[in-house]
A and B are shown apart, each in its own frame.
Chain A
């Protein structure tokens, strides 16, 4: 009983494992793309990615930068020294990697020269307009002065760049070297853009085959144990008396019994089991004698007879019969002389016609000897 439970558990676990394996490669499969976004709120109008960030997940990356409203935004990719040099001492954010699969880690880098220190000069080469406004207002100009985001667009140093309003997209395939992305909000009142890096990802499904194969193994194991447990069950009733008897007993009489309770298809067989076995054994003996006699008389066509003798035909399940039955069916018609002569043939044909042959004559056929042994051992 316990073995049967274990078998059932194994089968269930095996099925579950296989299902989980399949699920890991289907419904639970990770997305084919990784898209991570910055959430930078620090100073500066620029974001820079560290070398190695652009090819963090895959060599091919799609960069998307967005800025609020109708502002200008520029994306540029250059060698690390060039990007670092371009950004210079301005405040900016640095993208250092991933904090999770959806978020890019950023750190703020403060301006090395305080822009408030001398209001006239900050970025004056780039923003003459801003300078004109400051002297007029006078009071705390450093605070009020609108931030003017310098535009990296058009530099000779970039290998790829794009500029647009609101949002821009840039594709980049990694190549040898240390590359950085520079994303800049451009113009007055600019803020650092929000960057989204998306990579195609090769999703691995390492659990698919182990799950399926392992599950299959478990199922088979369970079925095996289940099958085995059913024989001992019969054996237990008869064999509990002597444990040693178990082994030799196993194959013979338990088989029909095993199928009996499980399938419930042949209770009649089970009930008549013992009685029939004996009866048939005798009949079989008789048949064998007859067959031997026939064989001696006619050495011409021993095969069909031998087939009956060994009881192979009866073993074949009824559904499959046409296949294997072909031989016996065809042969007799061809080499018929035998059939007229032999009572056994006729008897067998009758049995076959009425479907008796399988159950009745087979089991005894194979097991007759063993049955005797069983009896002997059990005695």
Chain B
């Protein structure tokens, strides 16, 4: 007992020293908390939609504001900020016509309020989003609008629009929160590739039932409209030994935008130009017939030849390759943008 007692204190001291050292270390460790390192979330397995609801709304509002400002002044100058492609061509022409004729109804009404949006998941550029507007105040059919962001540093711009045919049922798309995949122009998972769909529809428009693709495209109201106009002109020109022709040509490059639908098909929006030619016998006069044509024609003297150039946008639903569904034209826009008397 006495021996342990003698040895005891050193042990105590040693223990105390250890305890003090441990406490000191703990204190130091507590003062120097470890630096955090960046721990980002993993890249999502599937590409995410590139715009959220608020952003898409902002884009639509911005585009709408630019369109409204341009319409108010009938001045297309400001359009470039938010309008591009065939939409810019058509709108510019429409505004000039409206200014000439003093008639704002010659400008296609494009509501910025939408009932559906299609957001792409394209992680690179260009990116294309789509929207279906509510019914315009003019009680015409809703518009399908196409917006494109060409490069990362550019804003989304209105690239094109179509007037949907009355009673058209649009295909269903993935929800905006999921996003829709862009479809390449030469995509081969479809009944017809997007590029071919536009080309074939142009052929059908040109040749009607004689087109080899006539079976692919059921009749639609655009073709009915063109047939009606064609008949009118043919009837009018007949006494003057005249001829009427209308030829559609798909735009050479960058003419097609396509996005995947929920069923694996695609919504294809393509641009075409068309040229309407009316000729009558020598000495006859073929005047412009519509307000737009008159505005474009201006003060020129009418001759026996009238050539009207149109810019067209068509929207087509193309089903997946083996679905047994049929291609369906959803809507078109057909706007005269140039006119000539020779």
B40, A156: Cβ atoms closer than 8 Å: no
B43, A178: Cβ atoms closer than 8 Å: yes
- 1/0 contact string of A145-182 vs chain B (CB within 8 Å): 00000101011110100000000000000001110000
Q: Does A81 contact B (CB under 8 A)?
A: yes
Number of A-B contacts (CB under 8 A): 96
Q: Would you give the shortest CB distance from A64 to chain B, in whole angstroms?
A: 19
- 1/0 contact string of B34-51 vs chain A (CB within 8 Å): 011111110100001011
Given contacts A156-B59, A159-B55, A207-B27, A98 and B41 within 8 Å (CB-CB)? no
A17, B48: Cβ atoms closer than 8 Å: no
Given contacts A101-B35, A126-B153, A51 and B30 within 8 Å (CB-CB)? no
Residues of chain B lying within 8 A (CB to CB) of residue A98: 35-37
Given contacts A155-B153, A156-B149, A206-B30, A243 and B38 within 8 Å (CB-CB)? no
A156, B155: Cβ atoms closer than 8 Å: yes
Given contacts A82-B50, A156-B51, A243-B1, A177 and B30 within 8 Å (CB-CB)? no
Given contacts A9-B16, A13-B16, A81-B123, A30 and B152 within 8 Å (CB-CB)? no
Bound CA span A100–B37, Å: 11
Which of A86, A100, A243 is B35 in contact with, Cβ under 8 Å?
A: A100
**Chain B residue with Cβ nearest A53:** B38
A52, B55: Cβ atoms closer than 8 Å: no
Residues of chain A lying within 8 A (CB to CB) of residue B33: 30, 204
A17, B9: Cβ atoms closer than 8 Å: no
Residues of chain A lying within 8 A (CB to CB) of residue B36: 56-57, 97-98
B35, A85: Cβ atoms closer than 8 Å: no
A2, B9: Cβ atoms closer than 8 Å: yes
- Which residues of B227-244 are within 8 A (CB) of A? none
Q: Does B23 contact A (CB under 8 A)?
A: yes
**Chain A residue with Cβ nearest B149:** A156
B152, A97: Cβ atoms closer than 8 Å: no
**Chain A residue with Cβ nearest B124:** A85
A56, B30: Cβ atoms closer than 8 Å: no
Residues of chain A lying within 8 A (CB to CB) of residue B152: 82, 85-86, 88, 157
Residues of chain B lying within 8 A (CB to CB) of residue A86: 152-153
Q: Does B156 contact A (CB under 8 A)?
A: yes
Residues of chain A lying within 8 A (CB to CB) of residue B26: 207, 210
**Chain A residue with Cβ nearest B43:** A178
B30, A85: Cβ atoms closer than 8 Å: no
Q: Would you give the shortest CB distance from A348 to chain B, in whole angstroms?
A: 44
A178, B40: Cβ atoms closer than 8 Å: yes
Bound CA span A154–B59, Å: 11
Q: Would you give the shortest CB distance from B266 to chain A, in whole angstroms?
A: 23
Residues of chain A lying within 8 A (CB to CB) of residue B77: none
- Which residues of A235-258 are within 8 A (CB) of B? 243
Q: Would you give the shortest CB distance from B45 to chain A, in whole angstroms?
A: 13
Q: Would you give the shortest CB distance from A24 to chain B, in whole angstroms?
A: 6
Residues of chain B lying within 8 A (CB to CB) of residue A206: 30
A157, B38: Cβ atoms closer than 8 Å: no
- 1/0 contact string of B48-75 vs chain A (CB within 8 Å): 1011100100110010000000000000
**Chain A residue with Cβ nearest B59:** A156
**Chain B residue with Cβ nearest A10:** B16
Residues of chain B lying within 8 A (CB to CB) of residue A79: 48, 50
A156, B1: Cβ atoms closer than 8 Å: no
**Chain B residue with Cβ nearest A58:** B36
Residues of chain A lying within 8 A (CB to CB) of residue B62: 156
Residues of chain B lying within 8 A (CB to CB) of residue A374: none
Q: Does A28 contact B (CB under 8 A)?
A: yes
Bound CA span A260–B16, Å: 30
Which of B23, B149, B156 is A17 in contact with, Cβ under 8 Å?
A: B23
Q: Does A134 contact B (CB under 8 A)?
A: no
Residues of chain A lying within 8 A (CB to CB) of residue B52: 159
Which of A2, A51, A80, A96 is B8 in contact with, Cβ under 8 Å?
A: A2
B27, A24: Cβ atoms closer than 8 Å: yes
Q: Would you give the shortest CB distance from A43 to chain B, in whole angstroms?
A: 19
Bound CA span A152–B43, Å: 24
Which of B8, B16, B41, B43 is A176 in contact with, Cβ under 8 Å?
A: B41
Q: Would you give the shortest CB distance from B301 to chain A, in whole angstroms?
A: 42
Residues of chain A lying within 8 A (CB to CB) of residue B51: 156-157
Residues of chain B lying within 8 A (CB to CB) of residue A125: 153
Q: Does B19 contact A (CB under 8 A)?
A: yes
Bound CA span A17–B39, Å: 36
Q: Does A273 contact B (CB under 8 A)?
A: no
Residues of chain B lying within 8 A (CB to CB) of residue A30: 31, 33
Residues of chain B lying within 8 A (CB to CB) of residue A210: 26
Residues of chain B lying within 8 A (CB to CB) of residue A152: 153
Residues of chain B lying within 8 A (CB to CB) of residue A214: 23
Q: Does A20 contact B (CB under 8 A)?
A: yes
Residues of chain B lying within 8 A (CB to CB) of residue A126: 153
Q: Does A50 contact B (CB under 8 A)?
A: yes
Q: Does A6 contact B (CB under 8 A)?
A: yes
Bound CA span A57–B34, Å: 11
Q: Does B20 contact A (CB under 8 A)?
A: yes
B35, A28: Cβ atoms closer than 8 Å: no
Residues of chain A lying within 8 A (CB to CB) of residue B37: 56, 97-98
Q: Would you give the shortest CB distance from B284 to chain A, in whole angstroms?
A: 51
A50, B125: Cβ atoms closer than 8 Å: no
B31, A28: Cβ atoms closer than 8 Å: yes
8 further interface pairs, Cβ-Cβ under 8 Å (given A24-B30, A86-B152, A156-B59): A50-B40, A51-B40, A52-B39, A88-B152, A97-B35, A97-B37, A156-B156, A204-B33
User: Mind listing 19 A-B residue pairs with CB under 8 Å?
Assistant: A2-B8, A2-B9, A13-B19, A17-B23, A30-B31, A50-B38, A51-B41, A52-B39, A79-B48, A82-B152, A97-B35, A97-B36, A97-B38, A98-B37, A125-B153, A156-B58, A157-B50, A159-B55, A178-B40
